[in-house]
């Protein structure tokens, strides 16, 4: 077993035009002051990072790493959540998701999708030059408008959607393989990959690709009422990244999982700051340590009640308290008998029989 690395922080929800959240150097200083040891960088935010330069220049990547190092931080991973969403986008969401792409691509879904694919290829190369082992993204969605089977879905609709999803992602997975980086899908409502069953459907279609892996975020599973602890037992070999995010689910006579079109504040299920929700992090950290999780415990903050700055300040010590220093020996080693194979056979009454 190994000890989980952390605490780290995903910067996407904290960046703004106001110091210290508007430059990589300043936001790294802020994160370090709170006790974080790593930053996960949103690759789309030009205030912090230039993905094109990072994919083409080792010198630029060294410069970015040095900025973090000045604050005794490392870069844990890059994120392409917004770009990944555009690799597969149902036309129903075209207007909403145009905002994730450059303005000159708005209203042109084909060009927008090609841009998104190229962004993922850049991210693979940038991750390699930065010496990173994993990368996080969204799968996008072609079938999500049909998640509830009413009206009755035509036979083959979901299979065709997942065939196309795999077709689009397979070349990207191969690019990450060439870069030596695991591509981790954040399993998330709104994406075609939103639970274990959909991930398996996708995995079958990309021929169990070794780079098709998972970011584990229990908050999205709690809001679906999925067993987020058993999920670790089932998919631990594919879990390469971990967002530490809390949530709560309090159904009523008025609403449940679907939320009644209410705001985040008024939904039965909502994200909370660490320690304010219902997620069993003690068991999660135990299971991930047991299964030799190789990565970082990264705070992702999304709470409709508590301020982001308070959430970030409380997050680092919360994660640190939950990190388990992995045992290097068995607790009962002191009582070992030191028996060799001959002695073992004698203990079993096999001393006079053939081995």
- pLDDT-derived band at 327 (thresholds 50, 70, 90) equals confident
**259 part of a folded domain:** yes
CB 132 within 8 A of CB 296: no
Contacts for 332 with CB less than 8 Å, ≥ 6 apart:
none
- Segments forming the whole domain that contains residue 67: 5-347
Measured CA to CA, the distance from residue 42 to residue 136 in angstroms comes to 10
User: Look-up: residue for tokens 């084909």?
Assistant: 110
3-state secondary structure of 229: helix
**24 part of a folded domain:** yes
- Segment 318-333 shows an average pLDDT of 84
Q: State the sign of the Cα–Cα–Cα–Cα dihedral 53, 58, 61, 63.
A: negative
In the chain, the number of structural domains is: 1
Model pLDDT, residue 282: 98
Between residues 132 and 344, which one has the greater pLDDT? 132
Structure tokens at 188: 């998330």
Q: Domain containing 96 — which CATH number?
A: 3.20.20.150
- Report long-range pairs for 327-333 (Cβ below 8 Å, ≥24 apart): 327/1
3-state secondary structure of 278: coil
pLDDT at 355 over 80: no
**325 part of a folded domain:** yes
C-alpha distances out from residue 214 to 12, 188, 275, Å: 19, 11, 24
3-state secondary structure of 230: helix
**13 part of a folded domain:** yes
- pLDDT-derived band at 351 (thresholds 50, 70, 90) equals confident
3-state secondary structure of 215: strand
pLDDT at 353 over 70: no
**354 part of a folded domain:** no
**101 part of a folded domain:** yes
**231 part of a folded domain:** yes
**299 part of a folded domain:** yes
CB 304 within 8 A of CB 246: no
Q: What is the pLDDT of residues 69-95, one digit of tens each?
A: 999 999 999 999 999 999 999 999 999
**Residue among 293, 319, 284, 279 at smallest CA distance from 241:** 293
Q: What is the mean pLDDT of the chain?
A: 96
Model pLDDT, residue 330: 60
Q: Which helix (H) or strand (E) holds 5?
A: strand 5-10
Residue length, the chain?
355
């Amino acid at each position: 077993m190994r000890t989980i690395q952390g605490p780290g922080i995903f910067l996407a929800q904290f960046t703004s035009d106001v110091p210290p959240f508007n430059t990589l150097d300043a936001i790294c200083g802020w994160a370090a002051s709170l006790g974080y040891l790593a930053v996960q960088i949103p690759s789309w935010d030009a205030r912090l990072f230039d993905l094109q330069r990072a994919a083409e220049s080792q010198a630029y990547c060294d410069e970015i790493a040095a900025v973090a190092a000045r604050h005794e931080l490392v870069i844990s991973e890059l994120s392409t959540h917004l770009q990944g969403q555009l690799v597969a986008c149902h036309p129903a969401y075209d207007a909403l998701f145009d905002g994730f792409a450059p303005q000159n691509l708005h209203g042109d879904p084909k060009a927008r999708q090609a841009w998104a694919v190229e962004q993922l290829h850049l991210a693979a190369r940038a991750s390699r030059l930065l010496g990173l082992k994993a990368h996080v993204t969204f799968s996008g969605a072609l079938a999500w408008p049909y998640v509830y089977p009413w009206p009755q879905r035509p036979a083959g609709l979901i299979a065709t959607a997942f065939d196309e999803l795999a077709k689009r992602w397979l070349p990207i997975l191969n690019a990450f393989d060439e870069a030596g980086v695991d591509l981790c899908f954040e399993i998330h409502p709104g994406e075609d990959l939103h639970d274990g069953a959909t991930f398996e459907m996708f995995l079958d279609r990309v021929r169990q690709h070794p780079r098709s892996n998972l970011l584990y975020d229990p908050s999205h599973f709690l809001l679906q009422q999925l067993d987020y602890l058993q999920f670790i037992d089932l998919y631990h070999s594919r879990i390469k990244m971990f967002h530490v995010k809390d949530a709560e689910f309090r159904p009523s006579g008025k609403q449940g999982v679907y939320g009644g079109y209410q705001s985040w504040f008024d939904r039965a299920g909502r994200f909370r700051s660490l320690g304010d929700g219902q997620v069993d992090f003690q068991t999660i950290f135990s299971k991930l340590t047991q299964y030799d999780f190789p990565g970082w415990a990264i705070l992702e903050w999304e709470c409709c009640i508590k301020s982001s700055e308070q959430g970030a300040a409380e997050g680092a010590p919360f994660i640190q308290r939950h990190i388990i220093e992995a045992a290097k020996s068995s607790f009962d080693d002191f009582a070992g008998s030191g028996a060799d194979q001959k002695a073992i056979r004698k203990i079993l009454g096999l001393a006079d029989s053939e081995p």
